[in-house]
Amino acid sequence: MPNKLILLVEDNPDDEVLTLRALRKHNISSEVAVARDGVEALDFLFGTGTHAGRDLHLMPKLVLLDLKLPKVDGLEVLRQLRADQQTRLLPVVVFTSSNEEQDILECYNLGVNSYIRKPVDFTQLSETLHLIGSYWLQFNLTPKTPNSAK
């Protein structure tokens, strides 16, 4: 079975639980890694800090990135991902409650693949995540990157 790892970057415990529940409900991915702040997300993606020694050949097929994060915000996470040769092509969907035009503009300027506002209703959240997962993990094609598993 191909790698379908998702990295969920979410600091709100309630949103984390609901997102994981929706992903499981639709059998979106067999594995979801969770980072609860921007530092943990960067450590996971670059194999540093608490994730030092992690096998970087197993990269997520999708990053679901919240913007309002402690320690390092989502914009800085996105900035660092796009600045690095190993992660610049990684599909990143900003999945946030922010509807601020400036956030949307900044994310696209930094190279986000998609910007989606989190629905507050679980049924809508579940359907949105089903569509996100179907598109990014089943239909979207991505190039092989230097660290991707062959």
pLDDT in tens, 63-109: 999 999 999 999 999 999 999 999 999 999 999 998 999 999 999 99
CA 133 remoteness from chain centre:
11
The domains of the chain, with CATH numbers, are 6-138 (3.40.50.2300)
pLDDT in tens, 5-55: 999 999 999 999 999 999 999 888 779 999 999 999 999 999 999 999 899
Q: What is the pTM of this model?
A: 0.91
Q: Which residues pair with 92 in a beta bridge?
A: 63
- Secondary structure class of 137 (helix, strand, coil): helix
The per-residue pLDDT for 76 is 97
23-57: string of b/e by CB count within 10 Å (b at 16+)?
A: beeeebbeebbbbbbbbbbbbbbbeeeebeebebe
Q: How far apart are the first and last CA of the chain?
A: 13
Q: Are 59 and 25 in contact (CB under 8 A)?
A: no
